[in-house]
Structure 1
Amino acid sequence: MPGTPRLGRRAFLGALGGGAAALLAPQRRRLESLLPFGGETPSASAAVPFRARLPIPEELTDSEIRIPIREAEQQILPGRKTKLWTYGGSFPGPTVRRPAGERTEVTFHHELPARVGELSVHLHGGHNRTQFDGQPGGLTKSQPLSYYCHIPRGLSPRESGNDLLLEPGARKTYVYDLMEDGRPERSAFQWYHDHRLDRTSPRSWHGLAGMWIVDDEFDASLPLPRGERDIPLMISERSFDRHNQLTNPFEDHLRPPADGIVGQSVLVNGAFMPHHHVGARRYRLRLLNVSPFRSYNVHLSNGAPMVQIATDSGLMPMPVRRNEILLGPAERAEVIVDFAGARGETVELRSSKLHVGRNVTGSRTYAGALMQFRVGSERLADRTRVPRKLRALPDWTRKAKRKPDHRWEITIGGLFKTVWQINGRTFNPAHSDAFPRLGSTVTWEVHNRTNVAHVMHLHHTDWYLLSRDGRRPPPWEDCLKDTFFVYPGERILLAGHFSDYAGKFVIHCHMLDHEDHGLMSQFQVLPAKA
């Protein structure tokens, strides 16, 4: 990767004149420290931090929703617009916001060029039926080979999951009940993205991602900030050429274990280092990392604390005061920030290199600014507060065994062509490695036997972290989640309860190149015993 981030000075300072440039030398050095660019391109280096306004994606709230998947152009950097693949014509796509327990039907229309091939939409964090969970599928006419996964030939469409894919020009309606174990799902901050075999990373890179919020009565009863003070923030990163178009990092054919793609420009809600006006009161920030590989160690530039109230799977049992929060790919954290102490000032949301986890390959973080909040100078009344207690854990978490029913072992294999593996295999849509039954609560161990950190995501249900290498998790992980860091050599113990839906579901690394390069397996939920 390129070295120290730099700001292109000539266009920015040259127009100010020599005297002004000299006076602004300290500010210039500060701007250089903010920017995420490595190798400069003329358009990218002309971007000024905090000039763009933070985009807030359109909210879709109807029970029947239509979202075209199509090419679109979007203003990200100064100059030419960037061509993207999008949900609904923007990146991020529209935010779907629905009440828990109310059936929601989303029809996606594949309007991208035929060369893109089949798509598969996954609602990440949702409790979904297998046919609406975004199955990766197998080999098809448009995708006859898998370079990293061993996919048997001759599988039927049902065996491979190809019967569930969204073909070019076609429409598919995904049905989300938003129910779990006979009652409405818990409120949560989720997101949707493409999940096709071998191609999840390039599809995400091109722009196929959108946010999804599930609301419920319990969350609504709490005295938390709402409306315009409830802000979803999708953090991502991309690299651009001198014409403001996305580069193609996949041409380099990076192989395990050096297959983590990192962008040069960090974006928030699809904008380069934007700003947002806030009042001097509390706000709820919903943080989501959709970068393909990089993590962020999020904190506020003025040192103010963030009170974390929720994770991937919604509200925590109790709030946790945090000075920094490590977010791996696909992880979410919801925090309450009180801007009352920064009236008339600016506060940056930043990421730092050092964090409380192990700073190893796979968990090293971006260092620099993400966006800026401009706090109004007016004193404002604020009736919101953070309750001492939030949502209690479900009963099954207290009954979970501490001895694993099944183990998932992450390794690296291959001689001339290295691949990631789970239990000695790459992904095969016809193979399942575990067979839990509906109504059961299982305990699974995930063991990382590689020298790279991974971020493991399990479909179907929410999971409870019992231990890390035999030790109790920290307070911010003593809750339900769906995505977990697993460091080199580490063993984590997870408990999950299976309800409602039988069928095949996947477990995989959400460092997307790792997933595409074999680090995905499958379990099959069986009907309950009679």
Structure 2
Amino acid sequence: MTKEVNPTDPATIPKFVDELPKPVTVKPKYYKGPQRKDYYELKMMQAEHCFHEDFPKSIIWGYNGLYPGPTIEAKKDKSIYVRYQNQLPSEHFLPIDFTLHTANDSQEVRTVTHLHGANVDWESDGHPEAWYTRDYAQTGPNFKKEIHEYTNHQPGTTLWYHDHAMAITRLNVYAGLAGFYLLRDTLEERINLPCGDYEYPILIQDKSFNEDGSLFYPDEPPFPVPVHPSITPGFVGNTIVVNGKVWPYLNVEPRKYRFRFLNGSNRRGYIISLSNDEPMIQIGTDGGFLTAPQEIQSVELLPAERTDVIVDFSKFEGQDITLINSDEDFFDEHTKVIMQFKVCLPLKCEDTSEIPERLAVSMDLHPHDANTERHLPLSAATDDFGRPMLLLNNRMYHDPVTEKPTLDSIEIWNFINATPFDHPIHLHLIQFKILERRPFNMELYQNEDRLEFTGPPENPHIYEQGWKDTVKVEAGKVTKIIMHWKDHVGHYMWHCHFLEHEDHDMMRPILVMKEVPPMQEPHTEIENHEIEHSPKQNHGDSTIITSNNEHTVPLLNNIQNITPTHASVQTTYLEDEIEYIPQTIPLLTSAQNITRPTKTAYSENNVEYNQLSKPFLNNTKNIIFSKVEHLEHHKVSDIESIPQPTHSSAEFQTRQRISPRHRRRWF
């Protein structure tokens, strides 16, 4: 390692010194069954990887020990089998939070692979509770099979596979368990796109490193919590890693190239463009080709989103063009740079590739064909340890399933984002179309549970107009999507793809059913109070959980001006002759969200904390505190500055591990 290079300090790390590697393409091991279907075996292994030529090698987890994992190439409607073998050590090298759901009762190292964006039977989907340990010694409650079958019954597109194990997805993916899955079809064969050496899958991630070049991941949030190690609400690294290399370069010829961009970060978003302001030609999104190519100056990608573009370097021979990130949420002078293209290679042969006028046949879904329309709020809460958490439909992961589409139905889902943050929401199994976004009065919605729009509907961005499996649900807006539930029934997921949010209960089950279930009898008791329920469904209602029973109540954070004193005195209120318990939801960051005077409860290390009341959702009377931020700009973030470690990696790993005999003391 060069003496001046400090992996913890991005200012000391030279850029564009490592060449961008192209992930290797894995070949089938053999053919299986009478139809001779391709069979693959990928081993999840611990290995050493060099992220930068001036870094020592770092421990990673990779499929076949590679970072990123090998690319699987498949053909539309030709089934393949894949076995993902867990050959990992018994202990994780990143900090495990044993307080998260099921983590304390599960093995420390467990894995299950999800093929993201695939139309697949649920038993091969990679359900988070279908995890397994090394050599299948132990398995999760939803584990069904060792070998996954992918029928590939969908248009050609850029998919990716990654770990999806319950409560540790953020750690396993950060450690390296991700790879490309390229599905090709006859349309791609007919059109003359750049291919072979001129087609690159590009995985964009962010990382931080310890002084010895090993991966750094925080073992606690940037505010005091009573547990350690602990999940953090969000984490962004201070360097950009592309296909496993820190700020790499790619030597290119003066001709057209096809790039399949994937945001594989835990939390960071990117707005990608070229430094010379030249446009890119977008040809596809998450779900496959667009109906026609379109010229774009930039494209925004939140985690898990993909875009398929063509860049023509023919006019820029001898120039260096930087791929830049202009997402202002978390970027700085270093993370605004992604990689560099050096147009320095001679043209090997004439570029005969083309950009066709038309691509895929239009297959739009129309709102008037929808069978069901759902209204699903995104809301904030705290867990039993006072840590911020975010919820879908005001429910936690293990609450009873509420989204039960029927086979061959068309549904519209309205995501009502009442949190201060944008969220990338991913639905398993299906591809959908974004219909619109519409701003609403957040204060009125939070206080009175009344949805009042404050502006006209907004069309999806130009780069979002194809089929999608992940959508940016913007803060303060209702995002409307439409989808067709076809081909498969069973247990699937929908969740936020900010992985720290996903692991901390921002994930909900979906049950796709063959036919409409009979009307269920409502619960009749809640803490000894007799109540009545209307049989009419209201997908926008909220839920509190008491004694494992589910009850519909107005939105959790609709009671305004309830202080801790008020909460202890004013114990109930009436609405429609039903008695409810008031509650408040603490704010994730305090500076921009304070709507009424608050008093400082205490100070610690010159940091002020405000006293907030505990939401009833967690059934606890403890007082929790919210950090008071004094920010210069009015910007809301679920991530605060996390200092890089100054101690050695070995000391860091020892410090963040918790002995087994203490793991249950928090329960």
Give the match for residue 24 of structure 1.
none
After superposition, give the CA deviation of every residue in 1:152-185 in whole Å (9 maximum; x if it has no partner). xxxxx99xx624189xxxxx21111111xxxxx1
Counterpart mapping for 1:263-278 below 5 A: 263-278=237-252
Q: 1:488 aligns with which of 471, 475, 480?
A: 475
Give the match for residue 233 of structure 1.
202
User: What is the number of equivalent residue pairs in this alignment?
Assistant: 462
| 8 A Cα contact 2:370 2:411, kept in partner | no
Q: How far 1:285 sits from its partner (Å)? A: 0.5
Q: How far 1:248 sits from its partner (Å)? A: 2.6
**Does 1:369 pair with 2:306?**
no
Give the match for residue 74 of structure 1.
49
| 8 A Cα contact 2:131 2:143, kept in partner | no
Deviating more after overlay: 117-126 vs 406-415: 406-415
Q: How far 1:302 sits from its partner (Å)? A: 1.5
- CA, structure 1 residues 107+271, in 2 after alignment: closer, same or farther (shift >3 Å)? same
Amino acid at match of 1:501: H
- CA, structure 1 residues 450+112, in 2 after alignment: closer, same or farther (shift >3 Å)? same
Give the match for residue 187 of structure 2.
218
Counterpart mapping for 1:104-503 below 5 A: 104-115=80-91, 116-137=108-129, 162-164=141-143, 172-179=146-153, 185-252=154-221, 259-354=233-328, 367-376=335-344, 378=346, 381-394=350-363, 397-398=365-366, 401=369, 405-414=373-382, 416-428=386-398, 431-469=400-438, 470-503=457-490
| 8 A Cα contact 1:87 1:93, kept in partner | yes
Q: TM-score, normalised by structure 1?
A: 0.81
- Looking at structure 2, the residues matched to 211 and 366 of structure 1 have their Cα atoms a distance apart, in angstroms, of 26
Amino acid at match of 1:90: L
- Looking at structure 2, the residues matched to 440 and 383 of structure 1 have their Cα atoms a distance apart, in angstroms, of 44
- CA, structure 1 residues 459+141, in 2 after alignment: closer, same or farther (shift >3 Å)? closer
Q: How far 1:471 sits from its partner (Å)? A: 2.7
Q: How far 1:414 sits from its partner (Å)? A: 3.0
| Partner-residue secondary structure (3-state), 1:134 | coil
Higher relative contact order (CA 8 A, sep 6+): 1
- Looking at structure 2, the residues matched to 365 and 328 of structure 1 have their Cα atoms a distance apart, in angstroms, of 20
- CA, structure 1 residues 365+173, in 2 after alignment: closer, same or farther (shift >3 Å)? farther
| Partner-residue secondary structure (3-state), 2:220 | helix
Which one has the bigger helix percentage?
Answer: 1
- Looking at structure 2, the residues matched to 318 and 141 of structure 1 have their Cα atoms a distance apart, in angstroms, of 45
- Looking at structure 1, the residues matched to 219 and 500 of structure 2 have their Cα atoms a distance apart, in angstroms, of 9
Amino acid at match of 2:175: H
Give the match for residue 520 of structure 1.
507
- CA, structure 1 residues 192+377, in 2 after alignment: closer, same or farther (shift >3 Å)? closer
Q: How far 1:72 sits from its partner (Å)? A: 0.3
| 8 A Cα contact 2:111 2:133, kept in partner | no
- CA, structure 1 residues 46+474, in 2 after alignment: closer, same or farther (shift >3 Å)? closer
- Looking at structure 1, the residues matched to 378 and 201 of structure 2 have their Cα atoms a distance apart, in angstroms, of 33
Q: 1:88 aligns with which of 64, 84, 99?
A: 64
Q: Which runs of 5+ in 2 are unaligned?
A: 29-37, 92-107, 439-456, 518-667
| Partner-residue secondary structure (3-state), 2:46 | strand
| 8 A Cα contact 1:120 1:165, kept in partner | no
- Looking at structure 2, the residues matched to 300 and 139 of structure 1 have their Cα atoms a distance apart, in angstroms, of 40
- Looking at structure 2, the residues matched to 140 and 320 of structure 1 have their Cα atoms a distance apart, in angstroms, of 43
Q: TM-score, normalised by structure 2?
A: 0.65
Give the match for residue 60 of structure 1.
26
Give the match for residue 15 of structure 2.
49
Amino acid at match of 2:90: A
- Looking at structure 1, the residues matched to 237 and 2 of structure 2 have their Cα atoms a distance apart, in angstroms, of 21
| 8 A Cα contact 2:239 2:335, kept in partner | no
| 8 A Cα contact 1:408 1:444, kept in partner | yes
- Looking at structure 1, the residues matched to 421 and 119 of structure 2 have their Cα atoms a distance apart, in angstroms, of 29
Q: Which runs of 5+ in 1 are unaligned?
A: 1-7, 13-39, 143-156, 167-171, 180-184
Give the % identical residues: 28
Give the match for residue 554 of structure 2.
none
Q: CA RMSD in A?
A: 3.0
After superposition, give the CA deviation of every residue in 1:365-416 in whole Å (9 maximum; x if it has no partner). 9842211112136466322221222112325x13654796222211012373
| Partner-residue secondary structure (3-state), 1:219 | helix
| Partner-residue secondary structure (3-state), 2:17 | coil
Deviating more after overlay: 97-106 vs 242-251: 242-251
- Looking at structure 2, the residues matched to 104 and 364 of structure 1 have their Cα atoms a distance apart, in angstroms, of 43
- Looking at structure 2, the residues matched to 365 and 476 of structure 1 have their Cα atoms a distance apart, in angstroms, of 26
Give the match for residue 529 of structure 2.
none
Q: How far 1:318 sits from its partner (Å)? A: 1.9
Q: How far 1:46 sits from its partner (Å)? A: 5.3
| 8 A Cα contact 1:95 1:213, kept in partner | yes
Deviating more after overlay: 114-123 vs 213-222: 114-123
After superposition, give the CA deviation of every residue in 1:100-121 in whole Å (9 maximum; x if it has no partner). 1111111111111223422111
Higher Rg: 2
Q: How far 1:132 sits from its partner (Å)? A: 1.0
- Looking at structure 2, the residues matched to 443 and 365 of structure 1 have their Cα atoms a distance apart, in angstroms, of 41
- Looking at structure 2, the residues matched to 48 and 320 of structure 1 have their Cα atoms a distance apart, in angstroms, of 35
| 8 A Cα contact 1:43 1:79, kept in partner | no
Amino acid at match of 1:201: R
- Looking at structure 2, the residues matched to 365 and 198 of structure 1 have their Cα atoms a distance apart, in angstroms, of 33
| Partner-residue secondary structure (3-state), 2:173 | helix
Q: How far 1:9 sits from its partner (Å)? A: 11
